[in-house]
Structure 1
């Protein structure tokens, strides 16, 4: 499955490269594991992604 939108490393990924998450934003937001791209991606609505990022900024997730 090919999607023609730019992927970028999430600013929430660890600096060591071991915890890299890539994001491609558009009408839906795609999220994938950099080290396991062949496994595909998860899709979120922009509102869901924004809510998730808000929760991350608020503190540790449980």
Structure 2
């Protein structure tokens, strides 16, 4: 299934090729390490992804 997803690199990923996270949006959110594209993935429902991103945002 991963090969059919439209993966993109996170805007927060290291441009040096170090810390790179790729994300694909489908019925669930798919997350993987770009250095191991055939390795394990995390699959989350959209509300869980939104809560995760919100928790990372600095408080205003």
Which bin holds the TM-score, normalised by the shorter protein?
A: 0.7 to 0.9
Runs of 4+ in 1 over 6 A off after TM superposition: none
CA distance in 1, matches of 2:57, 2:15: 17
Counting only pairs closer than 5 Å after superposition, residues 1-62 of structure 1 correspond to structure 2 as 2-3=1-2, 4-58=4-58
Which one has a larger percent strand, Structure 1 or Structure 2?
Answer: 2
Give the TM-score normalised by structure 1: 0.78
Unaligned runs of 5+ in 1: none
Give the TM-score normalised by structure 2: 0.80
RMSD: 1.6
Unaligned runs of 5+ in 2: none
CA distance in 1, matches of 2:5, 2:46: 15
CA distance in 2, matches of 1:15, 1:53: 21
Q: How many residues align?
A: 58
